[in-house]
Structure 1
Amino acid sequence: MSCPECFSGHVHEGDPRGTIIKLHGLDTYATEPTSGAPIKGIIVVIPDALGWEFVNNRILADHYADKGGYKVYLPNFMNGNGAPPELLDSLRLVMGPGNLIYKPYHIVLVLTGILPWRRANGIPKTHSRVKDFFTELRTTGEGASLPIFTAGFCWGGKHALLLAHDGVEANGRPLVDAVFTGHPSMLDMPGDFEKLVRPVSVAVGDGDNHINPAAAEQIMGILEGLPEGAKGELRVYEKCAHGFCIRADVKFEDVAKAAAEAEDQCIAWFDKHLQAAA
């Protein structure tokens, strides 16, 4: 179940440089490395609750392209039902002290933002759309010959884990070669991790309300105990809360540093599994 922390955080400054294309039936933000180097593989970003249009998610896609030399896609998996960015400001006012006069107004804004999002974006309702996209990507065009990785966050983290489960294939090939997930939510514990057959790297903050320290330790044990070819890793970032990979307050140097290190964790994980995916 999503919670207020899934809709909390900060909007980042920047101008995404990618283009909007239609890919396998979905509007998609597409970006490539500015270096012009040969593409090593494909990363598909499955976003947090703010969806494919959220500037932070598009900037992150650009970072992945430049840091890793990957083509990066950020599809409209929510069918236009991402949470509005204004929700971040309203929720911050609701959860913070003071502002008693304006709080009722912002409470209404929060409810009218979160409740429709929940109705539209339940995992059972949306996962077929995600899976269909990856199936088409794997079996047609460039995805048939290039490694395919996915990075999922919060809501998207759940989808990313499901794609790495046993039996999720097309033409005898897994839909994803490796997975990175930052602060996944809506988890079924421990099953979502016990069923993994593809390697997964997880990034969580030590203040994550979805994955507390005990749960993080449990997940780490499961990932390390999986068979060869599916073994994973988990890294805990100090002084970070749920959502830090996407919506960190970059005015704070330690939090900005953690978000950048999580980007590096993702790219290093995919680079590590390039050879096995080839």
Structure 2
Amino acid sequence: MSCPACFRGTVHDGEPTGITTKLHGLDTYVAEPASGNPPKGIVVIIPDAFGWDFVNIMLMADNYAKKKDYRVYVPDFMKGTAAQLWMIDTFKKVDAKTSWWDILVKPFYYLKLIYGFISFIIPNRPGKSFPKVKEFFENLRRNEAAHLPVGAAGFCWGGKHIVLLAEGLKADGKPLIDAGFTAHPSLLKLYSDIEKMRIPVSFALAETDNQISLPHGEEIRKIVEAKPEGQKGEVKIYWGYGHGFACRVDTKNDDPKGAVEAEDQGLAWFEKHFEGIEY
């Protein structure tokens, strides 16, 4: 999570339509199927550094629920310690090259960003955060998802947790997740984390990403495509995009096509792997 791109991007326009509740001890955003039909599965979104109440993630949850009749949860796995949105604006100031003043004040902005990064990463490193994620999914499987398939979608920081969940952890003899999707994941141990996966995971990777380079992406592809049936994954490379494209793309000034396609990639993966599951 040391990459600056993890904190760059834009805040999207829109008004989330779901509700906020308390679920298994965590504040959680909930999006229900817009059709009014019973949910045919549950998808849990594990967000990027900006957390569960980042409007971009809430709008994505609404899309998941609307497009495929899923109930979608976005829990506060960070428990109030997500990265602050001012970091996005501060990075824009760091990148600005319009005047001598921009250059003069950059050291101040860099110090501010270092503070923001440390405040986020110390309480949210995987060793501290994954036990909370695992506990939530265990409770979910034993309750709301006792008879429903479960998918998990993770972005940047959340991607690490998707890969860990995919090791095949269980509750009451059932896998915590039936399928996983991750876009531009961070913090992975390459390639041991990938080799341990036993649940099918779909990867949406960027052409330019210092967390996962193109050679890394191709090696991940070889590993997941060589897994046994029922565990095979997939990798799609998004050419012309960088880290964070699936959840923080500038929809006004850049082409949002990659973000839309990545969203549909994840949904198609869940549709494929939810089919025929009965508990």
Q: Same fold (TM over 0.5)?
A: yes
Query: What letter corresponds to residue 12 of structure 1 in structure 2?
Result: H
Aligned residue number for residue 70 of structure 1: 70
Taking the aligned partners of 1:250 and 1:112, their CA distance within structure 2 comes to: 28
Aligned residue number for residue 174 of structure 2: 173
Shift of 1:276: 4.4
Taking the aligned partners of 2:132 and 2:85, their CA distance within structure 1 comes to: 23
| Pair 1:225–1:276, CA change in 2 (3 A) | farther
Shift of 1:20: 0.6
Shift of 1:204: 1.0
Query: What letter corresponds to residue 93 of structure 1 in structure 2?
Result: K
Calculate percent identity across the aligned residue pairs. Answer: 48
Query: What letter corresponds to residue 187 of structure 1 in structure 2?
Result: L
Secondary structure class of the residue paired with 1:77:
coil
User: Does 1:13 find its partner at 2:13?
Assistant: yes
Aligned residue number for residue 110 of structure 1: 113
Shift of 1:36: 1.3
Matched-pair contact (CA < 8 Å) for 2:3–2:210 = no
Query: What letter corresponds to residue 108 of structure 1 in structure 2?
Result: L
Secondary structure class of the residue paired with 1:240:
strand
Query: What letter corresponds to residue 38 of structure 1 in structure 2?
Result: P
Matched-pair contact (CA < 8 Å) for 1:165–1:198 = yes
Matched-pair contact (CA < 8 Å) for 1:2–1:185 = no
Query: What letter corresponds to residue 159 of structure 2 in structure 1?
Result: G
Shift of 1:43: 0.3
Aligned residue number for residue 246 of structure 1: 247
User: Does 1:229 find its partner at 2:230?
Assistant: yes
Aligned residue number for residue 48 of structure 1: 48
Shift of 1:208: 1.4
Matched-pair contact (CA < 8 Å) for 2:49–2:83 = yes
Gaps of 5+ in 2: none
| Pair 1:221–1:96, CA change in 2 (3 A) | farther
Query: What letter corresponds to residue 114 of structure 2 in structure 1?
Result: L
Taking the aligned partners of 1:22 and 1:90, their CA distance within structure 2 comes to: 32
Taking the aligned partners of 1:169 and 1:123, their CA distance within structure 2 comes to: 19
Query: What letter corresponds to residue 182 of structure 2 in structure 1?
Result: T
Shift of 1:33: 2.1
Taking the aligned partners of 1:139 and 1:33, their CA distance within structure 2 comes to: 22
Aligned residue number for residue 195 of structure 1: 196
Taking the aligned partners of 1:226 and 1:8, their CA distance within structure 2 comes to: 34
Taking the aligned partners of 2:236 and 2:202, their CA distance within structure 1 comes to: 8
Stretch deviating more after TM superposition (116-125 or 97-106): 97-106
Aligned residue number for residue 124 of structure 2: 121
Aligned residue number for residue 219 of structure 2: 218
Secondary structure class of the residue paired with 1:125:
helix
Q: Which contiguous aligned blocks of 4+ residues in structure 1 show a shift greater than 4 angstroms?
A: none
Aligned residue number for residue 272 of structure 1: 272
Structure 1 segment 17-96 matched on structure 2, within 5 A: 17-96=17-96
Aligned residue number for residue 146 of structure 2: 144
Secondary structure class of the residue paired with 1:160:
helix
Taking the aligned partners of 2:86 and 2:198, their CA distance within structure 1 comes to: 38
Query: What letter corresponds to residue 261 of structure 1 in structure 2?
Result: E
1:68-110 Cα shifts (integer Å, max 9, x gaps)? 1100000000010000111111012213434113323322321
Taking the aligned partners of 1:277 and 1:214, their CA distance within structure 2 comes to: 35
Taking the aligned partners of 2:96 and 2:128, their CA distance within structure 1 comes to: 33
Taking the aligned partners of 2:23 and 2:170, their CA distance within structure 1 comes to: 20
Taking the aligned partners of 1:217 and 1:95, their CA distance within structure 2 comes to: 31
Taking the aligned partners of 2:277 and 2:183, their CA distance within structure 1 comes to: 22
Taking the aligned partners of 1:119 and 1:76, their CA distance within structure 2 comes to: 16
Aligned residue number for residue 164 of structure 2: 162
Query: What letter corresponds to residue 173 of structure 2 in structure 1?
Result: G
Taking the aligned partners of 1:147 and 1:174, their CA distance within structure 2 comes to: 9
Aligned residue number for residue 131 of structure 1: 134
TM-score (ref. length: structure 2): 0.95
Aligned residue number for residue 153 of structure 1: 155
